[in-house]
Structure 1
Amino acid sequence: MAAHAHKHHEPQGIDLTVAAQAALEKSGEQWTSMRASVFAALAGFDKPASAYDIAESVSKAEGRRVAANSVYRILDLFVGANLARRVESANAYVANAHPECLHDCIFLVCDSCGQTTHIDDDPVTRGVRHAAELAGFTPVRPVIEVRGRCAACEAQR
């Protein structure tokens, strides 16, 4: 089974911001300066970030205090519009590297360093949805997280 069964273009930098703005506007929402700031902060983290991490980053960048509650509301909007994904076990968020593509994700979360890798494997996620349906459950947003150690941390053991 291929680890990355789902292939697509993953924009980075300004291209990711443009893709995120287009996806948000396509969902009927406005791309405000605050939403742009929150997305820029989120995309700037190399690990999942909490709303508090993002609020601190935006506060420093803008020279004014930004409340975590405001960031939570924006993050909820971003998750709903497919601009961000929530890493449930860490209560943290990552920018979706392909906001124009809607599918279920699998997160590999390193217990040592906190690094989180997102992989797409549509056959696995379809299997999870199918199993839920067979049990009489209607899956809305399956979250699959695998906890363990990343290759770098494992090599240091």
Structure 2
Amino acid sequence: MATGHNHHEPEGDALNDAARTALEQAGEQWTVMRATVFDVLAGFDKPASAYDIAEAVSQREGRRVAANSVYRILDLFVGANLARRVESANAYVANTHPGCLHDCIFLVCDSCGQTTHLDDDRITRGLRDAAQVSGFKPERSVIELRGRCSSCEAAA
């Protein structure tokens, strides 16, 4: 549910190109390791922990990659809008439209773990406005709604 505009959500090489461009525009280098971590993260169909990503990168590279190295890259990705952190799961998802900045709204299924990212600027704008009225300067919002996805609900 995007409000205000529609997103073109690239996949595969186009997504990697969009991520590289966004990272370089943020003044950072697109290294081989960063490219690999992003590609692995984008390949997960659910939020992935740094340990999940480190294991997958290690298998792909044929050498051990430490989770703390992956954490540093993920922190960089979150700061550059290439990835989103699902706070309650301490896990990450690739941002499928890295050139567009929105606050995060996640729908997290407690049954299967599937996580859907929504863009609804009306909700987050209201939250930011309320915070500012209270004298609080919001920097980023992450809203998580936990429950059951339609597939799990239908199976129940």
Q: TM-score range by the shorter chain?
A: over 0.9
Q: More displaced, 126-135 or 84-93? A: 126-135
Q: Deviations over 1:54-96 (max 9, x none)?
A: 0000000000000000000000000000000000000000000
Equivalent in the alignment of 2:92: 93
Q: Deviations over 1:110-148 (max 9, x none)?
A: 000000000100111101111111121111111111000
Runs of 5+ unmatched residues, structure 1: none
Rounded to whole Å, the distance in 1 between the matches of 2:71 and 2:147 is 27
Q: Which amino acid aligns with 2:2?
A: H
Equivalent in the alignment of 2:35: 36
Equivalent in the alignment of 2:9: 10
CA RMSD of aligned residues (A): 0.7
Rounded to whole Å, the distance in 2 between the matches of 1:63 and 1:32 is 18
1:79 aligns with 2:87: no
Identity of matched residues, %: 75
Q: Which amino acid aligns with 1:120?
A: D
Q: Which amino acid aligns with 1:104?
A: D
Rounded to whole Å, the distance in 1 between the matches of 2:69 and 2:102 is 27
Rounded to whole Å, the distance in 1 between the matches of 2:105 and 2:96 is 13
Stretches of 4+ moved more than 3 A in 1? Answer: none
- Equivalent positions of 1:1-157 (< 5 A) are 3-5=1-3, 6-157=5-156
TM-score (norm 1): 0.97
Give the number of equivalent residue pairs: 155
Runs of 5+ unmatched residues, structure 2: none
